[in-house]
């Protein structure tokens, strides 16, 4: 992106929203009609938090991650809120018409990888055409 190379840039939704906010005239944002809802796992790694004395703050973070206040704060930074009411509040930022499925809807990660990313998969078909 910074070098102006390539025709298409695939990004996480929050990264695409950040890019459009900072370079609104430089890029067009194309939102697919369907996508996979990918949510990273979140956990407290006590071996690290105990060593760094951050166990309490880490537990507080997890305990508050899905509160309305946190969901609004995260939405401000381009992370799609899980709370439907808050998502509607940010409908000017997020495309609420997109159909979001979960990994299991597509047969699990192994099936997704095989279909889209393995040699000769959909990604290769798109890339070579």
Rounded CA separation 81/90 (Å): 9
Q: What is the mean pLDDT of the chain?
A: 92
Structure-derived torsion over alpha carbons of residues 24, 27, 96, 35, reported in degrees to the nearest 10: -150
pLDDT given at position 114:
95
Higher pLDDT, 72 or 4: 72
pLDDT given at position 36:
86
Q: Please check whether residue 15 is in contact with residue 77, taking contact to mean a CB–CB distance below 8 angstroms.
A: no
Phi-psi region for residue 8, left (φ > 0), alpha (ψ -120 to 50) or beta?
beta
**Average pLDDT of span 105-128:** 91
**Average pLDDT of span 97-113:** 91
- Run of H or E residues at 36: strand 34-36
**Average pLDDT of span 41-57:** 95
Q: How many residues does the chain have?
A: 129
Query: pLDDT tens digits, residue range 57-96?
Result: 999 999 999 999 999 999 999 999 999 999 999 999 999 9
27 pLDDT above the threshold of 90: no
pLDDT given at position 79:
95
């Amino acid at each position: 992106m910074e070098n102006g190379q390539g025709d298409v840039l695939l990004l996480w939704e929050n990264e695409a929203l950040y890019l459009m906010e900072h370079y609104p005239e430089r890029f067009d944002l194309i939102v697919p009609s369907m996508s996979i809802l990918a949510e990273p796992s979140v956990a407290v790694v006590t071996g690290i938090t105990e060593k760094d004395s951050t166990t309490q703050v880490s537990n507080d973070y997890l305990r508050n991650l899905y509160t309305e206040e946190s969901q609004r704060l995260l939405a401000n930074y381009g992370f799609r809120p899980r709370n439907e009411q808050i998502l509607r509040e940010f409908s000017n930022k997020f495309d609420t018409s997109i159909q979001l499925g979960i990994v299991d809807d597509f047969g699990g990660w192994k099936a997704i990888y095989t279909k889209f990313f393995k040699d000769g998969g959909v990604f290769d078909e798109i890339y070579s055409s």
